[in-house]
Structure 1
Amino acid sequence: MSGIPFDQTADRDYEVLKPVGPKLRRIQAHNPGPFTFTGTGTYVIGEGEVAVVDPGPRDEAHVAAILKALKGERITHILVTHTHLDHSPAAALLKEATGVATYGFGPHGSGAGPDTPVEEGGDMDFRPDVEVRHGDTVDVGGVRVSAVHTPGHTSNHICFALDREGALLSGDHVMAWSTSVISPPDGDMAAYKRSLRLLLEREDRVYYPAHGAPVTDPHGFVQAFLDHREAREQAIAKVLADGVETIPEMVRRIYVGLDPRLHAAAARSVLAHLAEMVDEGRASADGPATLRARYAPPGGSIG
């Protein structure tokens, strides 16, 4: 159904700093799983004076490996794409070891509205020393790094662009191995699609995600993601028209053959689509859009 040209090339080297592009290296944390693929990739921008992007989970061994690999170089910035537990908790450990300031959009949920509840899975402890906004730039040893605010996966998600190198550190917004999980309430499908369209307006030549291989055809890949989300909405509209009212039954109908470990994430993705559809009048619900709500086509009867 997806039509997305996934690349699931698996790099299982852990705690080894490797060059991946001009002015860019990567060291992978040992946290493989159904949502992290082979693990979280921590990026190092620059040489001599460097920025560390997404220090990873709260794993002292990973932080020690980062520090060992960068011996003789000076860390000047700690950048965080977003506040999920596989990305930002180690920022505190790295800051403690180096005294270097952390940079990010803000605390978990800071990009959402004031009435949006926080969800499980967020790093509620991270507070950046420097709050970064869309278009802000930092200089890392002569490498210009720009912030690109891409809410959707989380409201505070930021990609970091190496402007002169044509590279974008895309975090969890765009990954080659899988689609991004959009989990309400902080995850927002409408915002996610707007952020994808924003990337289509840019001229980045390659994306380096936090998990998995680089994306070497950025525009084609992003368009495939948008097409996939449109197809998913059409599938949801069809099961609604067939009289399916509950999200668990929608998941069983739509995600045939899915790994059972991913059913909960699929349910939240369906919820994200339904929340957008209800907001836009393309579906109706018996109350607020939640996992337990019952749904119908617009104007349809429920129950």
Structure 2
Amino acid sequence: MLQTILAPNPSPLTGPGTNTFLLGERDIAVIDPGPDIAGHREAILAAGAGRISHILVTHAHLDHSAGAAALSAATGAPVLAFGTADAGRSPFMESLVTTAGGGEGRDTAFMPDRRITHDEEIAGRDWKLRAIHTPGHMGGHLSFLWEDTLFCGDVILGWSSTLISPPDGDLLDYFRSLDRIEALRTSGLLPAHGDPIESPAARIAELREHRQERSAQILRALANGPADAANLARRIYEVPPALLPAAARNVLAHLIALTQLGATTTPGPITPESQFSLR
């Protein structure tokens, strides 16, 4: 009923690679076709055995959506998603598109055949999914509820916290998505990277606490004077130098959220180089 095919795209941000899920027997839904790698597509087609009826994409990042078009062409199955890579941003994040930088891994060519919205049902002959809008990692991020299990894309990972890179990523939306997922009371989570999560409530609590402590670290650091995101990342993260740019994007997400909440301020437009200070 459920098969998992691991894409050959391991990295510090994707872990062992992208999990492509195949759900169903008579009709098969492919959830996150993954990167556009011929060998991975061939593995999906072999597992689908001519029964792939739906292609669902959690969000328009290249490691999730880039393989959708070729898989659709090979099977005739429609591609369903919240929208393009630009979809789902809050008005505030939309106002930062030209100044905040970011855009890592965006699949700017992605175009679903059908757009789906929060709480919409998608069904095959032997399965039923409910779309859950879970922005935070990306504005148009969807998770898919199957019975009491949630395919949660990149919003919750078991081995790491997800990258939140504005303006596509939004920390306040992320917290709201954690609340929304927690309220589902699922028995398990199936992330797009890494192993299944068997204790969803505990993992959600851990991630919420982690982000709250990161905000507290930033506020403590700003008590010593104004700083930008990169400077703060170097001071509060203990990661290899190659991961500091991603850390700085996460810090910027925290700074933007803290500014929206009135705890910090910065003169002029928000950019990666903006100097933030305590209000």
Give the TM bin, normalised by the shorter chain.
over 0.9
Q: Is the 8 A contact 2:26 2:126 kept in 1?
A: no
The equivalent of 1:269 in structure 2 is: 250
1:85 aligns with 2:86: no
* Alpha-carbon offset, residue 245 of structure 1: 1.3
Q: Is the 8 A contact 1:50 1:141 kept in 2?
A: no
Aligned pairs for 1:141-152 within 5 A: 141-152=125-136
* Alpha-carbon offset, residue 252 of structure 1: 1.4
Rounded Cα–Cα distance in structure 2 between residues aligned with 1:224 and 1:296: 28
CA offset digits 1:201-235 (Å, max 9, x no partner): 11210000000001110011101111111100000
CA offset digits 1:226-268 (Å, max 9, x no partner): 1111100000000000125122221111003x02121111000
Q: Is the 8 A contact 2:86 2:140 kept in 1?
A: yes
CA offset digits 1:41-77 (Å, max 9, x no partner): 1000111310001000111111011112222x41110
- Unpaired stretches in structure 2, ≥5 consecutive residues: none
The SS at the match of 1:182 is coil
1:278 aligns with 2:259: yes
The SS at the match of 1:154 is coil
Rounded Cα–Cα distance in structure 2 between residues aligned with 1:276 and 1:218: 25
1:99 aligns with 2:80: no
The SS at the match of 1:287 is coil
What's the RMSD between the two structures over aligned residues? 1.3
Q: Is the 8 A contact 1:105 1:131 kept in 2?
A: yes
Structure that is richer in helix per residue: 2
The SS at the match of 2:185 is coil
TM-score (norm 1): 0.87
Q: Is the 8 A contact 1:106 1:128 kept in 2?
A: yes
Aligned pairs for 1:1-303 within 5 A: 23-71=1-49, 73-112=50-89, 113=91, 115-117=95-97, 119-163=103-147, 166-256=148-238, 258-298=239-279
* Alpha-carbon offset, residue 133 of structure 1: 0.5
Rounded Cα–Cα distance in structure 2 between residues aligned with 1:216 and 1:207: 7
Q: Is the 8 A contact 2:82 2:115 kept in 1?
A: yes
Rounded Cα–Cα distance in structure 1 between residues aligned with 2:266 and 2:163: 22
Rounded Cα–Cα distance in structure 1 between residues aligned with 2:112 and 2:61: 14
TM-score (norm 2): 0.94
Greater than 4 Å deviation, 4+ residue runs: none
Count of aligned positions = 272
CA offset digits 1:95-128 (Å, max 9, x no partner): 1101110000000121013545282421011111
Q: Is the 8 A contact 1:274 1:289 kept in 2?
A: no
- Unpaired stretches in structure 1, ≥5 consecutive residues: 1-22, 299-303
Rounded Cα–Cα distance in structure 1 between residues aligned with 2:130 and 2:136: 19
Greater CA deviation, 142-151 or 242-251? Answer: 242-251
Greater CA deviation, 73-82 or 243-252? Answer: 243-252
Q: Is the 8 A contact 2:22 2:48 kept in 1?
A: no
